[in-house]
Structure 1
């Protein structure tokens, strides 16, 4: 099936790219991010002994950020979150892996960013043991509005082994938001990271994306757009609407997290399938935008992310993939120059590369002028470990030694600072409607004192909207016939009165 043209989608993806006046001061130099993803699909952060080894290894590599997977599928490797504690038998009874990791990492100046798979709900034929797990009330056995799963155009409700929540379902979106906020509220994490904040894979290469047909989400789409029937996966209006649902989820979660902890780093592990775009307009035609409806370009522009961590997973020894790696790095470098409020990091697949290739990719990343590098993953530090030929304990010290040798990229320790909360100026609000008017899908504009539009967004399914890069001074927010004049307060997310749109 032919993909929608870039010309049809570009105006929708570029909706928020307005000229700005009276910008917040650009972020001060942050240092160089050196990250490791620590996944929970095997050993790494599940016991006190594993965490001791992890901290030792991170220090040996001069790593300053750990992207620690505390949420896999509707659970948490912690004891104080909105999602239930994991039933992973590898975690000792009562032990709080996140607590222990934070205590030990912070003692050595290492940041911990709570990495959560955003939309995955469950993946086993055996249901979760905890009756409070959302799978029981909102999984495949649920009906009506209680059914949260995304559905494929052919009716399938499972992406591979995973049941996945639909970003277009308002209740699922609210659940996901609280999942992140509860961790930020209850733990001194340095950041939170979105992962799989998109629609599922299992689509034709190059699109169109096949997912998003949750009945509640579909009814929203029809109500908000006036369309009838069931949209074709390649319908550009349907593609843009789904992209907006993911963007709304990121925006509202970022606002809610920042309202609790203004200094927290909000970041995302973002998709870079295939070749990189030549410029911002070309992003609309990437596999990222068309296959999984992930418009992370808007998230960067609008300040929804403090750090964009591209999953730039390419094999350096395969010429086409090495070229794609460089293309995405070059694209991110241009974004870094255009939008300095958002740091740009290239995440590399060390599990797909030999050690020499991984060192080469670190050098390429830093030579491209990005803010840092992250490796996936600590558990699988090269292709031999991934293939089962050698062990993590054998390989990780070798890779650490290569990266920290004299003249190597990580020869000396480097700092990485958290966002300066004084630079936060954000507004959060909700529209109200009457009659049969839907709360979702309304365009909301932000105007500076001179009347210039400095940002645009759209309301989510609950009528919520917000802006994270608000100019100093008086601004006007408008949705439909509703207008209000206000000012952002440095260092906080200001909640606005409800805004009638009719």
Structure 2
């Protein structure tokens, strides 16, 4: 495995040049189009070296160029060298390392590997994890206050069945996730990270509201941010915006942390596409990803804090209304790309092979950057209905043959991230602390200036620190910036130089007023 330098703290960011990714263009180069499978870790695929060999062979047969392999299901890891503890699942005994094995075999076949990480799903069993270090044991039902990372619903529920989730508004929990992701990208030669469950949970009392976010820590931080003393309702607009911001803060922090470790790694997120597309609801903010689970993936594309949205466009082609939903979301993806990549991910397990081929055609016809099937384990209705491995394998072979014959008739490369291959903008990140204490939820003004006069050259942007006093901006034009804080005790500022493809540090240390 390729060792990458370890990120010891997100705030300690180096000025890391972006790596050149693109080879000179040639007339005979393959087209650029993402083609891949999600490979879930609840089924066969990565449990043994032999399964990995079969996985890679099947991917080649389908013309796939990317595998999104589930590495972290519930704060565990199908790997041996990450902050997350090694999974309790029945994988081959150590020293077998599923992630390392997939990387070795897939890269040898010219296939990219993206580590699929469930960001907020904590645990789902009456039996606790074996490792004492697992977050469920260290920060679950036995803990109190800020050490209790569990999300809580408006009705007081923390467990749905045995399912538990972390609260994106808990700073310690989210910093742990950031460091865990960084440990994977530092220690393994992955091509990227794919975030799932990067949102608030389901199990809500309505389709256009979210009932979660009522942990003690969350409510205290919301009160501190707004000055309110009431407990907001799930439909409260200010509370919904604030919760949405907590998820966006986590995405932003992961993006910058990954960039600091290896600028060539791709951050993709699994975008929710519940029900109809935005066109049926009067716009993005009325659609269910934004309104129901607090996931603003359109905003993340606009800001540039994700490289790719892999939309979980799980619809049944053989049901006319769901076929319409599928098309509406493809249209939205094409509209929302904002210069990043957008990939539509059909639910193979909900469709027959002919319908999946039709959906693959629809994805290509929509002008999207690629297709990714969910999932490798069950590629059709027949595969899902059968417990026979031979049936599942036969269905994989049939789908691969149909896709190659009718849709993906020539080879393709994963699309180049031009914004990283030849960067024209830079990043800025830092922390604010007052007398050594993190200044959470304070405004940070970033203004382009000339030196040495400090003359303002353009409009300022206003950022806000997260629960750990951290802030960042991406896609900044190269130049000099004044970074100023005014509402964290005494005013303070620093001046930094932003360079294309690099992260500029902008830490501000203040003293509390006497």
Q: Aligned residue for 1:381?
A: 379
Distance in 2, matches of 1:302 and 1:214, equals 28
Q: 1:102 to 1:349 in 2, by over 3 A?
A: same
Distance in 1, matches of 2:300 and 2:467, equals 19
Unmatched 5+ stretches in structure 2: 1-21, 26-30, 450-455
8 A contact 1:426–1:466 mirrored in 2:
yes
Q: Aligned residue for 2:479?
A: 473
Q: Aligned residue for 1:494?
A: 504
Q: Secondary structure at the match of 2:245?
A: helix
Q: How far is 1:456 from its partner?
A: 4.5
Distance in 1, matches of 2:160 and 2:435, equals 38
Q: How far is 1:474 from its partner?
A: 2.5
Deviates more, 1:56-65 or 1:123-132: 123-132
8 A contact 1:482–1:501 mirrored in 2:
no
Q: Aligned residue for 1:14?
A: none
Q: 1:141 to 1:320 in 2, by over 3 A?
A: same
Q: How far is 1:85 from its partner?
A: 0.6
Q: Aligned residue for 1:183?
A: 184
Is 1:136 the equivalent of 2:142? no
Is 1:352 the equivalent of 2:350? yes
Q: How far is 1:495 from its partner?
A: 1.9
Unmatched 5+ stretches in structure 1: 1-26
8 A contact 2:495–2:506 mirrored in 1:
no
Q: How far is 1:232 from its partner?
A: 0.7
Q: Secondary structure at the match of 2:278?
A: coil
Q: How far is 1:460 from its partner?
A: 0.9
Q: 1:145 to 1:366 in 2, by over 3 A?
A: same
Distance in 2, matches of 1:453 and 1:280, equals 34
**Length-normalised TM-score, structure 1:** 0.89
8 A contact 2:494–2:508 mirrored in 1:
no
Q: Aligned residue for 1:430?
A: 431
Question: Which of 319, 340, 343 in structure 1 is aligned with 2:341?
Answer: 343
Once the two structures are superposed, residues 390-421 of structure 1 have per-residue CA deviations (whole angstroms, 9 ceiling, x without a partner) of 6311200000000001xx22111101145335
Q: How far is 1:95 from its partner?
A: 0.6
**RMSD value, Cα:** 2.4
Distance in 1, matches of 2:358 and 2:461, equals 39
8 A contact 2:369–2:415 mirrored in 1:
no
Q: 1:45 to 1:418 in 2, by over 3 A?
A: farther
Q: 1:122 to 1:392 in 2, by over 3 A?
A: same
Q: Aligned residue for 1:203?
A: 204
Q: Aligned residue for 2:407?
A: 409
Q: Aligned residue for 2:75?
A: 74
**Length-normalised TM-score, structure 2:** 0.87
Deviates more, 1:314-323 or 1:260-269: 314-323
Distance in 2, matches of 1:105 and 1:307, equals 21
Distance in 1, matches of 2:447 and 2:372, equals 37
Once the two structures are superposed, residues 322-355 of structure 1 have per-residue CA deviations (whole angstroms, 9 ceiling, x without a partner) of 111111111111122xx11x10111111111111
Distance in 2, matches of 1:160 and 1:44, equals 27
Q: Secondary structure at the match of 1:50?
A: helix
Is 1:463 the equivalent of 2:469? yes
Distance in 2, matches of 1:33 and 1:454, equals 37
Once the two structures are superposed, residues 226-255 of structure 1 have per-residue CA deviations (whole angstroms, 9 ceiling, x without a partner) of 011211111101100000000000001111
Distance in 1, matches of 2:371 and 2:500, equals 30
Q: Aligned residue for 1:125?
A: 126
How many corresponding residue pairs?
Answer: 471
Q: 1:443 to 1:366 in 2, by over 3 A?
A: farther
Q: 1:313 to 1:486 in 2, by over 3 A?
A: same
Q: 1:139 to 1:399 in 2, by over 3 A?
A: same
